[in-house]
């Protein structure tokens, strides 16, 4: 069984404009800006043996404002510029299916596809819903500080993506069992 790091896309791997306190997902590939801090962090995680899996909700697809073709162009760019292994996309706005992001089912699906030990896998995100899904799936969440973090669920909070990678590598080095941090008093 392999270990994975699941990565939120918007706000983690690519930079997003913020309008009225909300992240705005890019609708055209020309507006897709990869986070310059992500590459080295991901290379370090990759070198440590992690499978790197991007999970993203792109509800603009089902709303008809984000063409599939633009999304595919963005993700071709991600594969080209970052050492990622797979991208799971939920295109829905209502998240009713168990595999919809941010439901935990997407982690379970990826775990099945890639033969992952979810208890020994990690989630990097800046949104509370991902930390909640991580907890249900048995993953350890390392959250990048943001206005969308909430107070519960997350195992660790760091300042940026390199900080998240560093924390995961520290936990790996001390063979830290995934869920222990959440049960610590
Ligand atoms: Zn979905």
Q: Where are the domains of the chain?
A: 4-179
Ligand 1 centroid to Cα of residue 101, in Å, is: 6
Using a CB cutoff of 5 Å, list residues around ligand 1, an ion: 90, 92, 100
Q: Name the token pair of 19.
A: 């309008």
Ligand 1 centroid to Cα of residue 22, in Å, is: 20
Q: 175 falls in which pLDDT band (50, 70, 90)?
A: confident
Query: What does the DSSP assignment read for 150-165?
Result: -SSS-SEEESSHHHHH
Model pTM score: 0.92
143 in Cβ contact with 19 (< 8 Å): no
Ligand 1 centroid to Cα of residue 75, in Å, is: 17
- Identify the CATH number of the domain defined by range 4-179: 3.40.50.1000
Q: Is the pLDDT of residue 96 over 90?
A: no
Q: What is the pLDDT of residue 185?
A: 36
Q: Is the pLDDT of residue 37 over 60?
A: yes
């Amino acid at each position: 069984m392999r270990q994975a790091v699941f990565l939120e896309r918007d706000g983690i791997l690519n930079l997003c404009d913020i309008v009225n306190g909300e992240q705005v997902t890019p609708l055209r590939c020309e507006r897709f800006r990869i986070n310059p801090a992500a590459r080295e962090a991901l290379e370090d995680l990759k070198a440590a043996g992690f499978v790197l899996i991007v999970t993203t909700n792109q509800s603009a697809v089902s709303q008809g404002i984000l063409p599939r073709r633009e999304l595919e162009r963005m993700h071709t760019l991600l594969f080209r510029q970052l050492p990622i292994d797979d991208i799971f996309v939920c295109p829905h706005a209502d998240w009713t299916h168990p595999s919809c992001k941010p439901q935990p089912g997407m982690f379970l699906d990826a775990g099945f596809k890639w033969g992952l030990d979810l208890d020994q896998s990690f989630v990097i995100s800046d949104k509370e819903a991902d930390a909640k899904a991580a907890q249900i799936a048995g993953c350890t969440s390392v959250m990048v500080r943001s206005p969308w973090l909430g107070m519960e669920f997350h195992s660790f909070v760091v300042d940026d993506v390199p900080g998240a990678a560093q924390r995961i590598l520290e936990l790996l080095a001390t063979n830290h069992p995934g869920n222990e941090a959440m049960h610590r008093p």
